[in-house]
Amino acid sequence: MNKKHLSIALSSLLALPLLSQAGMSPVLADSAAAEGSEQEVLIVYKNDDGREAALEQSEEVHHEFETVPAVSASVNPEELHDLVRNPDIAYVERNVEFQVTDDESTPTGDSQVTGTSSTPAANDVEKVRWNYEQVSPQTMWKQGFTGAGVKVAVIDSGIAAHPELKIAGGISTVGPDLSSNYADDNGHGTHVAGIIAADSGSGRVAGMAPGVSLYAVKALGADGKGTLQDVVEGLDWAIQNKMDIINLSLGGDTDSQLLHDMVDKASNQGILVVASAGNSGSASNVDQDTVNYPARYDSVIAVAAIDQNLKHADFSSAGPEVDIAAPGVDITSTYLNDQFATASGTSQAAPHVTGELALLKEKNPWASASKLRAILSSYAEEFGTPGRDNLYGDGVVTFKENGTDTTAPAEVTGASTTASTSDSLTLGWTLPADPDFKEVRIYNGPAVQPVVPTAASYKFSGLTPETDYSFRLTTVDTTGNESAGVIVNGRTQAVPPTTDTTTPPSGGGSSTPTPSDSAQTPPAQDPAPTSSAPAPSVSEPVNIPAAPTPAPSGDNAQIPSGGGGGGGGSAAPAPFGGGGGGGGGAAAPAPSAPAGGAPAAGTPAPSVPAVVAPKPTAQAPQTPAPSAPAVSAPSETAAAPAAEKLPFSDVSPSYWGRDTIAWAYERGLIKGYADGKVKPTAAVSEAEFLAMLIRAFEPNVQNATSGNWSATYYARAKQLNLPVQGGTSAKARTQNLTRVRVAEMLAAANGKNYAGNDAIRYVLGQGLAGGSSKTEKTIASFVGSRTLTRAEALQFVKNLTEKGVGELQARPKTASGTASLPSIRQGS
């Protein structure tokens, strides 16, 4: 049987110019010069004035998009010239054509399907399909996961009615108006849909996730052709209807800004976007970079194809953008007229991954899109050269059983009692990094207290004063494996004395908790980011009242919103126990060997005490809602004098950064020097800021125990593609950091790739910084060339934990679009 390479190509994008105020391309200028000719374009505007111009300066408006500021329209040459030069218009793109580049698939005859099975138990015919054997979805089915409840949109040529397919709904974007007639009249979309969701047990194929809610988005016609408008309308519909996964078995070799913006929009809203890498490869393309768009975008999971020999398919595109590989040769699936067909291409590989993600989504309903991508990679078998490579990405996903999973997840780390009153105890911990981690269970005697699966703290109320309690914290994975657990002990405080007959309110004792007894376990290695800021792991939180004194004016910028001017002084030491020297000096020594001027070593964690059961008189705890870690400032009535609570002699009660320093101290981001100072105005090196940034979100990343203390942070920075210079230069690690570099790193940690003034615009627009001007935020007021002080660095990091996306993100490989950046003037 001849192999047929099915794929969709954006071939007409080769003639697509991106139109902006920089000028009109020769291609568009030539076509616009034809008298009376109209152009079908997509107009992306910046603001309401731009929208009004797009609507008014068009011959006919075809569609207005819901999720991006854009319209599709027909314009004459004069209107086109005006729009391109309008400062309120971001850009204009030609409404180019998409087309199918395959020959025809090979039908295998009548299906003879007599019904479908709601419980997938693949029959003998289905089991021998090589792609089924490789992926082994039945392993997940046996655990009860079929993709149920997961909404999958297939943006393609539609989906035809077929006994093996259950279509939940859909839309057609082909033609002048949207319609509900999404029936496939080409065959490609139906073939793709069957790989994802064919219901096994009675037919000839088994989809990877037969329980999904399958939606057909018809963006290509019977001839296999469609337009950019049709595809973008399909993405628009999928975003509005809150799909969980979008499959795009299509691609081309030329960029489209609007297509890029749309898949980024979907990804930012938690939708997984899967696309075929393309069929532009060759047998010798190991070192080539042939991945097509939209798979080339960072927000899209790019899928390459393998053959029956588990080798890279000759036709499959390759390159550093390949994320994963899947079966893509001689794949049998559903087809038109109740038939089945066999075809090859990365169009067939992509839906395998879409189905795999649907299974993992059902199994891990709490996981974010970025977390699911990491979980997917954890199931990949490594092929090719060790590590990620251009042919297979992270490898080929398989759920094959090598015996039942009986391995429990890692324990929580840093578990301790973070706060106590006369009738309550608050526990805090750091979650493990296991991809299949599900929840924490807290045992207080035989009872299990429910905890939000990803929470990092829990408060027990209704306890007896002056009573010892012992809790066991275990972790559970999605298979049900439970760890042995760690012990956390705590003691409630005495009821505070009262001078009148009024009954003191519950918990009205001293706000300063007693030092906790906690079980300490070794930190997990390289934990994955969690969706929320970590709980503090120190045994005695520092409670500092809000300081009413504002930041100093003049040479120093206003700090409360994240800005700030640079201070002089020698470079600060490593913020987590390393030594330090002057700016540009030698690398900091390891924490175990403090030198003169080095920060004092942190108080060692208490040893694990014997498990003490509660006194018989202790009341059974209630089951309150999970509470946040006790890290915020206490109420005014419970506050003690600030100077007695923060052990740094150079931080006065009126210092603008006192709250920020207290916040950092509570979380172990700073520990101070042996002389009792923290040196808030000292300059900060790249290594020190990087350590602050990473530890704020991932506290289990520790100083390196050998070599340079900052090696572990630079290793993590490499994984995240952060814009650091010290990864290859030891000297760069100790050089003082400028504020514009900080802006670039903050943007990168939030998942954006901006440099220079664009990075400054981003952090100002996101509220991560405020600039020095009290009247207007400008690029000049940010003072990007000034060096950063220790207190300012901590303020920036604190702002990111409060206003960022909640976890460290990987910086995209290509520059992020600037159309969404706020219009902030240069200033002077």
The answer to whether the predicted template modeling score (pTM) of the entire model surpasses 0.85 is no
Confidence of residue 88 (pLDDT cuts 50, 70, 90): very high
Looking at the structure, do residues 164 and 59 belong to the same domain, yes or no?
A: no
Return the CATH number at 28: 3.30.70.80
Is 403 within a domain?
Answer: no
Residues 114, 164: Cα–Cα separation, whole Å: 10
In this model, does residue 562 exceed pLDDT 60?
A: no
Same domain for 244 and 232, yes or no, is yes
CA–CA distance, 224 with 498 (Å, rounded to integer): 82
Given 397, 425, 459, the domain boundary residue is 397
Distance CA 746, CA 799 (A): 10
Pick the catalytic residue from 156, 230, 261, 330.
156
Instruction: Determine the pLDDT at residue 219.
Output: 92
Bigger pLDDT: 706 or 90? 90
Q: Among 444, 429, 599, which residue's Cα sits nearest to residue 523?
A: 429
Cα–Cα dist 711/706, whole Å: 9
Q: Are residues 193 and 225 in the same domain?
A: yes
Is 476 contained in some domain?
Answer: yes
Residue 821 confidence class, pLDDT cut points 50, 70, 90: confident
How far apart are alpha carbons 665 and 35 in whole angstroms?
71
Final residue before a domain boundary, out of 57, 78, 95:
95
**Which pLDDT does position 575 carry in this prediction?**
36
Q: Which of 276, 347, 470, 483 is catalytic?
A: 347
pLDDT band at 706 (very low <50, low <70, confident <90, very high): low
Asked whether residue 5 is assigned to any structural domain, the reply reads: no
Mean pLDDT in residue range 706-717: 81
- 114 in a domain, yes or no? no
3-state secondary structure of 405: coil
Please tell me the predicted confidence (pLDDT) of residue 749.
93
Close Cβ partners of 385 (under 8 Å, ≥ 6 residues apart): none
Is 156 among the catalytic positions? yes
* DSSP-assigned letters across all residues of 609-648: PPP-PPPTTPPPP--PPP---S-SPPPGGGPPPGGGT---
Tally the domains of the chain.
4
How far is 347 from 231, CA to CA, in rounded Å?
Answer: 16
Q: What is the percent of the chain where pLDDT is above 70?
A: 70
Give residue 119's pLDDT band: very low, low, confident or very high (50, 70, 90): very low
Domain end position, chosen among 397, 419, 454: 397
Average pLDDT, the chain: 74
Query: What does the alpha-carbon distance between residue 648 and residue 225 come to, in Å, rounded to a whole number?
Result: 69
Rounded distance between C-alpha atoms, residue 783 and residue 797, angstroms = 18
Percent of residues, the chain, with pLDDT higher than 90: 33
Would you say residue 11 lies in a domain? no
Sign of CA dihedral 514, 515, 517, 520: positive
Q: Is the pLDDT of residue 328 over 80?
A: yes
- For residues 585-609, give the mean pLDDT: 33
- 131 shares a domain with 42: no
pLDDT at 286: 63
Residue 598 is predicted with a pLDDT of: 33
Taking CA 781 as the corner, what is the angle to CA 778 and CA 786, rounded to the nearest 5 degrees?
A: 135
CA separation (Å) from 27 to 76, 258, 502? 15, 19, 85
Please say if the pLDDT value at position 413 is more than 80. yes
Q: Are residues 662 and 756 in the same domain?
A: yes
Residue 555 phi, psi (nearest 5): -70, -25
The yes-or-no answer on residue 434 being catalytic is no
Residue 501 counted as domain residue: no
Across the beta sheet with 167-172, the strand order is 167-172, 213-218, 151-156, 245-248, 272-276, 300-306, 324-327, 396-397, 380-381
Q: Are residues 556 and 693 in the same domain?
A: yes
What's the longest Cα–Cα distance across the chain? 95
pLDDT at 523 over 60: no
Distances (CA, A) of 520 to 161, 404, 457, 489: 58, 30, 16, 11
Q: Mean pLDDT, to the nearest integer, of 266-280?
A: 93
Do the bridges between strand 300-306 and strand 272-276 make them parallel or antiparallel, or are there none, so unpaired? parallel
Q: Give how far the C-alpha of residue 380 lies from the chain's centroid of Cα atoms, to the nearest Å.
A: 19
What are the structure tokens assigned to 1, written together? 């049987």
Active site residue 347: yes
Which H or E run includes 142? Answer: helix 138-142
- Full residue range of the structural domain in which residue 671 is found: 545-591+633-828
Structure tokens at 793: 């660095």
Output helix, strand, coil percentages for the chain, rounded to the nearest 5: 25, 20, 55
Which range of 196-200, 477-481, 520-524 scores highest in mean pLDDT? It is: 196-200
Q: Which residue has the higher pLDDT, 314 or 729?
A: 314
Q: What is the pLDDT of residue 553?
A: 27
Nearest 5°: CA angle at 759, between 551 and 815? Answer: 165
Q: Is 294 exposed, middle or buried (CB count within 10 Å of its CB: 0-12, 13-18, 19+)?
A: buried
Within-domain flag for 722:
yes
Residue 644 pLDDT: 38
- Residue 171 phi/psi, 5-degree rounding, is -160, 155
Q: Do 200 and 216 belong together in one domain?
A: yes
Helix (H, G, I), strand (E, B), or coil: what is residue 779?
helix
Is 166 or 805 the better-scoring residue by pLDDT? Answer: 166
Kindly report the number of other CB atoms within 10 A of residue 437's CB atom. 26
- Distance (Å, whole) CA 178 – CA 233: 9
Residue 803 has pLDDT above 60, yes or no: yes
Residue 220 shares a structural domain with residue 256: yes
**Which CATH number do you get for residue 359?**
3.40.50.200
pLDDT of 100 > 90? The answer is no
Does residue 43 sit in helix, strand or coil? strand
Tens digit of each residue's pLDDT (9 = 90 or more) over 754-786: 999 999 989 898 888 875 545 567 888 888 888
* 98 against 747, higher pLDDT: 747
CA distance 744 to 811: 10
Distance from C-alpha of 814 to C-alpha of 196, rounded to nearest angstrom: 30
Of the candidate ranges 72-76, 429-433, 589-593, 759-763, the one whose mean pLDDT is the lowest: 589-593
User: What confidence tier does 128 reach under pLDDT thresholds 50, 70, 90?
Assistant: low
Q: How confident is the model at residue 596 (pLDDT cuts 50, 70, 90)?
A: very low
Tokens found for residue 117: 């099975």
Note whether 611 and 651 are same-domain residues.
no
What is the rounded distance in angstroms from the CA atom of residue 10 to the CA atom of residue 226?
9
CATH assignment of the domain containing 443: 2.60.40.10
Please report which confidence band the pLDDT of residue 618 belongs to, taking 50, 70 and 90 as the band edges. very low
Report pLDDT digits (tens) over 488-520.
999 999 988 765 443 333 333 333 333 333 333
- The answer to whether the beta carbons of residues 132 and 194 sit under 8 Å apart is no
Question: Rounded distance, CA 736 to CA 48, Å?
Answer: 43
Classified as helix, coil or strand, 488 is strand
- Report the pLDDT averaged over residues 538-559: 30
| Residue of higher predicted confidence among 324 and 112 | 324
Q: Which has the higher per-residue pLDDT, 404 or 314?
A: 314
The mean pLDDT value for 298-325 works out to 93
Can you tell me whether residue 315 is helix, strand or coil? coil
What H or E segment, with its residue span, contains residue 97?
strand 97-100
| Average pLDDT rounded to a whole number, residues 427-439 | 84
Q: Cα–Cα distance between 453 and 438 in angstroms, integer?
A: 6
**112 or 14, which is more confident:** 112
Amino acid at 250: L
- Using the predicted structure, report yes or no on whether residue 300 has a pLDDT greater than 60: yes
Q: Looking at the structure, tell me whether residues 296 and 335 fall in a common domain.
A: yes
Considering only 259-273, 309-323, 389-403, 573-587, which range has the smallest mean pLDDT?
A: 573-587
Q: Are residues 706 and 815 in the same domain?
A: yes
The predicted pLDDT at position 164 comes to 92
Q: Given pLDDT bands bounded at 50, 70 and 90, which one contains residue 629?
A: very low
Please write the tens of the pLDDT for every residue from 785-802.
888 898 999 999 999 998
Catalytic residue, chosen from 188, 191, 260, 352, is: 188
- Domain identity same for 537 and 549: no
Residue 105 domain flag: no
Most confident among 113-117, 300-304, 467-471, 759-763 (mean pLDDT): 300-304
- 256's tokens: 């489209």
Give 9's strand partners.
99, 251
Better-scored residue on pLDDT, 155 or 439: 155
d(CA 815, CA 821): 13
Q: In this structure, what token pair is assigned to residue 759?
A: 């990075």
> Would the pLDDT of 452 be above 70?
no
How far apart, in Å, are the Cα atoms of 466 and each of 15, 107, 431, 488, 542? 77, 77, 29, 16, 22
Q: Which residue has the higher pLDDT, 495 or 47?
A: 47
